[in-house]
Amino acid sequence: MVNDARVVRPWNRRWSSGAVYVSFLFFTFVVLLPVYWMVRSSLAPAADLIKVPLVYFPAPTLRNFVTLIEQVPFLDYVRNSVVFALATTLVTLVVSFLAAYAFARIRFPGSGIIMWTLVLSMALPDVGTIVPLYRILSSLRLLDTIAGITLVLSSALAPFTVWVLVSFIKQVPYEIEEAAIIDGASLLQIFVRILVPVTRPALVTMGLINFINAWNNLLYPLSFTTSPSSKTLSVSITEVFAGYSPWGKPWELIMAVGVTMTIPVVILVLFSQRAIVRGLTGGAIK
Amino acid sequence: MKKTYSRREFLQLAGAAAAGSVLAASTPAIPLAAKAAPTARKKAPAVLTPRKVRIAVGGWAEQNMKDLLAKTNFTKDTGIEVEVVLRTDTKETELTRLASAVQAGTSPYDVIDFEDELTTSFSQAGYVIGLDDLLPADFWDDFPPEMIAYSKTWSTYKGETFRIIHNWEMPYWWYRKDWFDARGIPVPTTWEEVKPLGKVFTDESKGVWASEDGLIKGAFLNVYLAWITLQAGGNPFDVGPEYKMALEYIYDLMYTSKVLNPASLQKDYNQQNADYIADKVAFMRQWPFFGDVARSPDNKDWFSEDKVAVALPPAGPGGKAGSTYAAAWGFGIVKTSPNLAEAKELLKFLISKEIAVEAMKVGFWFLSARKSVLAAAPQDNWLVKQLKMYTDAGVIGVRPFHPRFVEALTILEDTAAAYLTNQISLDESLKQAKDRLAQLA
């Protein structure tokens, strides 16, 4: 009798798996609908955006992208975004990796406090740091430069990256490093030949997260850059305009910027999917 | 033999490199030639130092400004190079950008083209400099009384002028002349004459309304509240009897007379314009940009002059002198500008009578009712005709002002929207507005 009660009847199993699939479908629909709407709006004539009844499948046109290129120095902004995102990713990873190694392997007085101070700094609202950062960049003569915003964002992203990498490096048995030292390896060789390959999933994941953060960041480029030689693509959202006045809101152009900003991220995520999953789950297993 | 490094050595090396980079970056950038021969740098003639100034304008005005500067040889005559940079399209983002810069003692640009709301914020915060010393004695003689009254309210703080306006435009009363003519109905001239038009034009089953507006919260609704309260003879921020009358009138238009589409409370200007062009609206209040939208190639199949006719707004109890109001954009100088002297020269140049006229010829972003500008404007142009019609008729009042405009408008919008969507009573709406505005003061 007891065993019978535990048996899951086939119809019951089908029903529950069907419910799961329906839930997944619903969830996917909810997640993808805004994406569809963004793409659809970027390809629609402005007049079709606000028609009632809604136009779900407008005749596609690339005119919004052409207008976008005409209104803002689009190629300059794309180039700046690429340089900014790559540089931020690289600087953050290098600095954070070295810091994480120190926290994971070297015992020094106050290391715990420093680590937690670093982690707590993540709670600081970005906008609250703008004025002091402006002063620092001004005195370093890095205002209105890509180097300036790279420095600022790297410092903002480093705490989280360090936090994640510390747990990864701690999982690597120290005996491996000791063996390498006995074999005559330098610290640099230990980094390059042992630690980097072993922690690669975490590095790839954090690299990707940092790249996306930098690519999408609006606050720092908006606050610290002024000229087309340093502004990034995200700032163009605040610069596109409808007609020749400030009154209307050019949603079709804003959506075109949105699509342009989303495409590289989607491609990156698709190509690094496996590494991201390994990176995100790896640190959780002891 | 291969050299190996201990961890301590590595960390020392890395620390030294990082400290070196920071120190190198923080050292003032001196040209190599100057480092080699410091005395030569000291003796360099002043003329070698290029004089520069940066002006920030909205994207819609960028090309106009560049064309104006090229056409008028400002750089050639003064030796000052002007860089035109883009400011953001919203007051909030621009405030964020400039506030941090000014507090850090610098500025990303020297001269800015800015709107009413930012003028209030910037002048009260001390972010922009007073301009009265830069103005010729007869400067204001070139302005009509309406623009002077407007400037005194919106461009000054504690008696000092912080912005010189170059763009001055008002909501117009647009109507379908073809529809009015077909029904043999005259254009309404008073509030009372508007009310019966619901029965004439509104057909809810077809989604057609006599009138519609963009009244979504986020400064849209406030424009309409200010417009109607001004017609009633008051300032909405006083929450006085005129404001009460204005709310009652709007409510009547929406629910009793069925003139104004209540869905306006969820619409912005884009949707309002689209509905008008979709033949769903007989008349509406709208800024002049609608004229450009209606005349754009996208709407060439729909457009005809009698579909976008303009008449004077129906006068309210306050009389025709306050039938509408103007808003403006103008130039100011950032207090922490790194090129203050050059900025003053550029501003003096831009606001001079001759250059103001040239600017209008370059683009209508620089059109206003300034006497010399309006006299030189092409009289057959639709926008110039409308501006003249309104100024000649004396229907332009001063835009209702509050010293803490942005916060105050949010309060009015919240309380008015709650009443207009039947969530609270009129008395409750007025009480809340009054209490919250009092707290703000």
Nearest CA in chain B to A130: B100
* B271: contact with A, CB 8 A cutoff: yes
Asked if B229 contacts B322 with a C-beta cutoff of 8 angstroms, the reply is: no
pLDDT in tens, A124-158: 888 888 989 999 999 999 999 999 999 999 999 99
Closest CA to A147 of B81, B166, A155: A155
Judged on CB neighbours under 10 Å (0-12, 13-18, 19+), A96 is buried
Instruction: Calculate the CA A189 to chain-centre distance.
Output: 30
A47: chain B residues, CB-CB within 8 Å: 274, 277, 298-299
Residues 67-96, chain B, touching A (beta carbon < 8 A): 83, 85-86, 88-90, 93, 96
Residues 272-301, chain B, touching A (beta carbon < 8 A): 273-275, 277-278, 287-289, 292-293, 296, 298-299
Per-residue model confidence (pLDDT) at position A282: 60
Q: Is B103's CB within 8 Å of A131's CB? A: yes
Helix A63-71 vs helix A74-105: angle between axes, to the nearest 10 degrees? 80
* B304: contact with A, CB 8 A cutoff: no
Q: Is B58's CB within 8 Å of A246's CB? A: yes
Q: Is cis: bond before B186, omega within 30 of 0? A: no
Chains A, B: CB contacts under 8 A, how many? 135
Q: How confident is the model at residue A201 (pLDDT cuts 50, 70, 90)?
A: confident
pLDDT mean over A60-76: 92
Question: What does CATH list as the number for B49-170+326-397?
Answer: 3.40.190.10
Q: Is B96's CB within 8 Å of A106's CB? A: no
B105: chain A residues, CB-CB within 8 Å: 135, 138
Tens of pLDDT along chain B (441 residues) come to 444 555 555 555 555 544 444 444 333 333 333 333 344 444 444 455 679 999 999 999 999 999 999 999 899 999 999 999 999 888 888 998 899 899 889 999 999 999 999 999 999 999 999 999 999 999 999 999 999 999 999 999 999 999 999 999 999 999 999 999 999 999 999 999 999 999 999 999 999 999 999 999 988 999 999 999 999 999 999 999 999 999 999 999 999 999 999 999 999 998 999 999 999 999 999 999 999 999 988 899 999 999 999 999 999 999 999 999 999 999 999 999 999 999 999 999 999 999 999 999 999 999 999 999 999 999 999 999 999 999 999 999 999 999 999 899 999 999 999 999 999 999 999 999 999 999 987
Closest CA to B116 of B159, B157, B56, B160: B157
What are the boundaries of each domain within chain B? 49-170+326-397, 172-325+403-440
With a cut of 80, say whether residue A211 has pLDDT above it: yes
CA dist list (Å): B315 to A281, B191, B233, B243, B395: 69, 6, 10, 15, 9
Per-residue model confidence (pLDDT) at position B2: 44
Q: Find which of A127, A238, A253 to mutate to test the B interface (most B CBs within 10 Å of its CB).
A: A238
Q: How confident is the model at residue A16 (pLDDT cuts 50, 70, 90)?
A: confident
CA dist list (Å): B293 to A69, A70, B214, B262, B282: 21, 19, 15, 24, 17
> How many Å apart are CA B67 and CA B78, to the nearest integer?
17
Does an H or E element contain B386, and which?
Answer: helix B382-393
Nearest to A249 among B4, B268, B364 (CB): B268
Mean pLDDT of chain A, nearest integer: 89
Nearest CA in chain B to A235: B88
Q: How confident is the model at residue A5 (pLDDT cuts 50, 70, 90)?
A: low
Q: Is A227's CB within 8 Å of B60's CB? A: no
Per-residue model confidence (pLDDT) at position B34: 37
Q: Is A248's CB within 8 Å of B109's CB? A: no
Helix A146-171 vs helix A111-120: angle between axes, to the nearest 10 degrees? 130
Q: What is the DSSP string of B214-271?
A: ---TTTHHHHHHHHHHHHHTS-GGG--HHHHHHHHHHHIIIIIS--B-GGGGG--HHH
Q: Is A238's CB within 8 Å of B109's CB? A: no
> How many Å apart are CA A235 and CA A216, to the nearest integer?
10
A139: chain B residues, CB-CB within 8 Å: 26
Q: What length is written for chain A?
A: 286
Task: Name every residue whose Cβ is closer than 8 Å to that of residue B168 and which is 6 or more positions away in sequence.
Answer: B147, B150, B326, B327, B328, B367, B368, B369, B370
Per-residue model confidence (pLDDT) at position A54: 82
Q: How confident is the model at residue A203 (pLDDT cuts 50, 70, 90)?
A: very high
SS3 of residue B7 by DSSP: helix
Half-sphere exposure of B177 (CA within 13 A, CB side): 11
* B108: contact with A, CB 8 A cutoff: yes
Residues 342-371, chain B, touching A (beta carbon < 8 A): 363-365
What six digits make up the tokens of A65? 């992208």
Instruction: Calculate the CA A262 to chain-centre distance.
Output: 11
> How many Å apart are CA A122 and CA A145, to the nearest integer?
24
Per-residue model confidence (pLDDT) at position B92: 84
Task: Name every residue whose Cβ is closer than 8 Å to that of residue A192 and which is 6 or more positions away in sequence.
Answer: none
ipTM of this predicted structure = 0.75
Q: Is A226's CB within 8 Å of B109's CB? A: yes
pLDDT mean over A256-268: 92
Asked if B313 contacts B231 with a C-beta cutoff of 8 angstroms, the reply is: yes
- Common-topology check for domains B49-170+326-397 and B172-325+403-440: yes
Residue A196 C-alpha, separation from nearest chain B C-alpha, in angstroms: 16
Name the fold adopted by B172-325+403-440: D-Maltodextrin-Binding Protein; domain 2 (3.40.190)
